[in-house]
Amino acid sequence: MTNVEWRRARRRRRVRATSVGAASTIALAGLWYLSTDGLGLVSPLFLPSPVAVFERLIEFTQRDYQGATLIGHLFASLRIVAIGWFVAGVIGLPLGVAMGWSRRVRTVVSPVFELIRPIPPIAWIPLAILWFGLGTEARVFVVTISAVVPWVLNSYEAVAGVDKLLAKASRSLGAPSRRTLVEVVLPAAVPTLVGGARIALGNAWMTVVAAELLGATAGLGFVALNARSTLDPDIMLVAMLLIGLLGVVFSEGLRLVEKRLSGWKESAA
Amino acid sequence: MPLDEKTAVPTAHDEGTGMTDRQAKLRFEGVHKSFHTRRGEVTALSPIDLTVYQGDFIALVGPSGCGKSTLLMIAAGLEAASGGTVLADGAPMREPGPDRCVVFQRFALFPTKTVTGNVEYGLRMTGVPKAERRERVRETLGMVGLSAFADAYPHELSGGMQQRAALARSIVMRPDVLLMDEPFGALDAQTRIIMQEEIARIARDLGLTVLLVTHSVEEAVYLCNRIIVLTARPGAIKHEFTVDDDWSHHSVDEAMAQPGFGSLQRTVWNAVREEITSVQ
Ligand SMILES: Nc1ncnc2c1ncn2[C@@H]1O[C@H](COP(=O)(O)OP(=O)(O)OP(=O)(O)O)[C@@H](O)[C@H]1O
Ligand SMILES: [Mg+2]
């Protein structure tokens, strides 16, 4: 296949995937509509109709729910996620890179890391309360924990996965070890590093809902949790759908960055 | 051979052949290597004594697994010898360095850098000023016929062009000894012939000293003035052949048509074959 034919085929594949995805989403929404407003199969207290949810979403952009509008709650959650993700990156990225580059660091850090890795972020909540009480710090802590693992793992794999021959070539051309890392290994590792950032952000975003159990007074997770006690399933679904939607936006955004930064790669050409 | 050979002064009437200048560029003295593996100690190389002189183009041939690459990596400083010493320009060496650049079979171009970025790399790492870098890169790309691809990324190049870029990246450093590990092994037959002719020309033009690992006896006879046949593992020097005629002035097919070429090729091949069959 020539390059042009191949690209054309790839575009066709992509268009098909997008239309199938759109169709299945529409079908699901239709089913949702039919079982609620359409045929009235389930009570609106059990599952509100998509129309009600949409109306509530519009209303929520203007009117307060539990002390803030949609934007207020959104930013409350975003702030926790951003801080947690960033702190996790500041810790996890260098740690993972060091593990991938130096066998000594790997030997020291790996056992501890392997032990911590399987503990789900939510299981850190009691410790978070013990250390930080109920408050922003505790939430940031839990979110950080959830994001640090993919930061470390991907940075480690990104660096360890770079062809060892490149480092040899670099050293043979007169570059010391440190410069070889910076000039040759890290640039080649960038796509996988950004992949780690993306997974970390996804984890952080998923965990913020759980973290908002910790004495939060605002946030999308807080809204969803609160809606249950105030018997307000409309706004609960609004919050959930927004969490899902923003998760997709983050993920796709960083995927784009990933692609941009791998322009030297064959697959991304 | 006397150790003070490195101080030998090149003769004044060197007529561009580089052959009258017998300065020792690289010397292996009892260099051997064993690997510790799960199956125990594997001796890859028996003690090797070998001196590479200025202007030599030496081939290392021998059965697969006899330690050719290992010897080359030791020379590059990328692998430590288990014993013995390697003298680079008379001084014991341990570290890798641009005085002994390597051209690998798998090219090992830096994928995130353009051809220029790759070729410039060693100069940049060794602190060559920018203006001089640009000039040397331009000149070297011209030499290997890659001027039109200065801004291309490695993945945009054919195999032959990638190997030209890898070659340029090494020769731009003007190494004392150029180390090549089956540099044409990954190329198709036609490209390989072209590259053999080009490397012969470049080595002659620049007066390069080369240590070449190859599987091809034909390539060794065509390019080299000395051919070292190694024994099956653990590799030791079985025999050294001297190539009296400089075939590299001809094209590959012309050279191969000469009776002297074929007879030497057969003699060397028989020595290699003995070692290959000794294992089976
Ligand atoms: N890192 C290593 N660990 C263990 N054994 C090794 C290692 N590197 C090489 N060897 C062994 O040392 C021997 C020599 O290997 P080397 O790669 O130098 O052979 P070679 O002559 O270059 O072979 P080929 O012609 O197939 O490239 C082989 O038997 C190989 O298995
Ligand atoms: Mg080899």
Q: Which residues pair with A214 in a beta bridge?
A: none
Ligand 1, pocket-test mutation among B39, B43, B46, B66, most atoms within 8 A of CB: B66
B33, B35, B61, B230, best to mutate for ligand 1 pocket (most atoms within 8 Å of CB): B35
Given a cut of 90, whether residue A71 has pLDDT beyond it is: no
- Which one-letter amino acid corresponds to residue B167? L
Contacts of B149 by beta carbon, 8 Å cutoff, 6+ apart = B115, B141, B156, B157, B161, B165
Q: Which atom of ligand 1 is nearest to the CA of B67?
A: 18
Give the predicted TM-score (pTM) of the model: 0.83
Q: Which residue of A has its CA nearest to B72?
A: A172
Pairing of strands B83-88, B24-37: antiparallel
Q: How many CB pairs lie under 8 A apart between chains A and B? A: 74
Q: How far apart are CA A150 and CA B39, in angstroms?
A: 36
For chain A, the C-alpha Rg in angstroms (whole number) is: 23
Question: Residue B132's pLDDT is what?
Answer: 95
Residues 6+ apart with CB under 8 A from B77: A172, B93, B94, B95, B96, B97, B100
Dump pLDDT digits (tens) for A235-252. 888 888 888 898 899 989
Q: Which of B104, B126, B155 sits opposite A266 (nearest CB)?
A: B155
pLDDT tens-place values along chain B, 280 residues long: 444 443 444 443 444 444 445 788 999 999 999 999 888 899 999 999 999 999 999 999 999 989 999 999 999 999 999 999 999 988 888 789 899 999 999 999 999 999 999 999 999 999 999 999 999 999 999 999 999 999 999 999 999 999 999 999 999 999 999 999 999 988 898 999 999 999 999 999 999 999 999 999 999 999 999 999 999 888 889 999 998 888 888 888 888 888 888 999 999 999 999 988 887 6
Q: What is the pLDDT of residue B8?
A: 40
Chain A residues whose beta carbon lies within 8 Å of the beta carbon of residue B110: 166, 169-170, 183-184, 187-188
Q: How many CB atoms lie within 10 A of CB B16?
A: 8
Coil, strand, or helix at residue B34? Answer: strand
CB B185 near ligand 1, within 6 Å: no
Question: B35 C-alpha vs ligand 1 centroid, how far in Å?
Answer: 9
Percentage of residues in chain A with pLDDT exceeding 90? 42
Pick among B110, B140, B181 to test the A interface (most A CBs inside 10 A): B110
Average pLDDT for chain A: 88
Could you tell me the pLDDT band of residue A17, with boundaries at 50, 70 and 90?
A: confident
Q: Best substitution site from B69, B184, B229 to test ligand 1's pocket, by max atoms within 8 Å of Cβ?
A: B69
How far does the CA of residue B7 sit from the closest CA of chain A (Å)? 25
Single-letter residue type at B194: I
**In this structure, what token pair is assigned to residue B11?**
């003769």
A257: exposed, middle or buried (Cβ count in 10 Å: 0-12, 13-18, 19+): middle
Of all helices (H) and strands (E), which one includes residue B45?
strand B40-53
> Which protein residues have their CB within 5 A of the ion that is ligand 2?
B 69
The domains of chain A are located at 1-42, 45-268
Please state, in angstroms and rounded to a whole number, the distance separating the CA atoms of residues A40 and B278. 86
DSSP code of A77? H
- The CB of B70 under 6 Å from ligand 1? The reply is yes
Q: How confident is the model at residue A131, as a pLDDT?
A: 93
B255 CA from centroid of ligand 1 (Å) = 32
CATH second-level architecture of A45-268? Answer: Orthogonal Bundle (1.10)
d(CA A216, CA A232): 18
Residue range A248-267, pLDDT digits in tens:
999 899 888 888 887 677 65
A174 → closest Cβ in B112, B122, B154: B122
Q: Are B121 and A183 in contact (CB < 8 Å)? A: yes
Q: Please give the distance, rounded to the nearest whole angstrom, from the Cα atom of residue B69 to the centre of ligand 2.
A: 4
Contacts 24+ apart (CB under 8 A), B69-72: B69/B181, B69/B213, B70/B33, B70/B44, B70/B45, B70/B235, B71/B28, B71/B31, B71/B33, B71/B45, B71/B213, B71/B235, B72/B102, B72/B179, B72/B180, B72/B181, B72/B211, B72/B213
pLDDT of B3? 41
> Which ligand places an atom closest to the C-alpha of B66?
1
**Mean pLDDT (whole number) for A224-231:** 83
Alpha carbon of B115 to ligand 1 centroid (Å): 30
Q: How does B168-195 read in b/e, with b if 16+ C-beta sit within 10 Å?
A: bbbbbbebbbbbbbbbbbbbeeebbbbb
pLDDT digits (tens, 9 = 90+) for A40-57: 888 887 888 888 888 888
CA distance A76 to A70: 10
User: Between chains, do B108 and A173 touch, taking CB under 8 Å as contact?
Assistant: no
**The pLDDT of residue A209 is above 90:** no
* Section A156-171 average pLDDT: 94
Asked if A173 and B110 come within 8 Å (Cβ–Cβ), the reply is no
Q: How far is B204 from chain A (nearest CA, A)?
A: 22
Residues B180 and B108 sit within 8 Å (Cβ to Cβ): no
Q: Which chain A residues are Cβ-neighbours of B169 within 8 angstroms? A: 169, 173
Looking at the complex, report in whole angstroms how far the Cα of residue A95 sits from the nearest Cα belonging to chain B: 23
